[in-house]
């Protein structure tokens, strides 16, 4: 999963991470750096919300703007250079940089 500070929507390509995948009531026109995609499905991400689903996408993307509405997210560039998402149950999900960008660590 990527935590993206520039994304305005949550969109996943991995169906194994979602439940209840179904047709959306409306179409999402998704503009990215290489093309425009039309997303017609949604699915539920455990402990989060319903997200858009596009099986031909290249990443599972969480919008930082959306995530911070549900969870506390902190960032410390000196201590560990990572975003930390605080779940309601006290657990954390840590997003650390990789060569390809921010990715989640279990």
Q: How many domains does the chain have?
A: 1
The answer to whether residue 98 scores a pLDDT higher than 60 is yes
The pLDDT, as a whole number, for residue 22 is 97
Q: Are 49 and 70 in contact (CB under 8 A)?
A: yes
The predicted model scores a pTM of 0.84
Average pLDDT, the chain: 89
d(CA 91, CA 24): 31
62-70 mean pLDDT: 95
CATH number for the domain that contains residue 63: 2.40.70
Q: Domain residues for 89? A: 2-105
The answer to whether residue 79 scores a pLDDT higher than 90 is no
């Amino acid at each position: 999963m990527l935590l993206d500070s520039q994304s305005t929507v949550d969109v996943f390509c991995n169906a194994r991470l979602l439940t209840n995948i179904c047709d959306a009531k409306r179409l999402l026109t998704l503009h990215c750096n290489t093309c425009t995609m039309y997303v017609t499905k949604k699915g539920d991400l455990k402990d989060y919300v319903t997200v858009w689903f596009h099986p031909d996408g290249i990443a599972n993307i969480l919008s930082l703007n959306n995530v911070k509405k549900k969870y506390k997210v902190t960032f410390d560039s000196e201590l560990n250079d990572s975003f930390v998402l605080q779940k309601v149950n006290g657990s954390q999900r840590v997003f650390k940089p990789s060569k390809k960008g921010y990715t989640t660590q279990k």
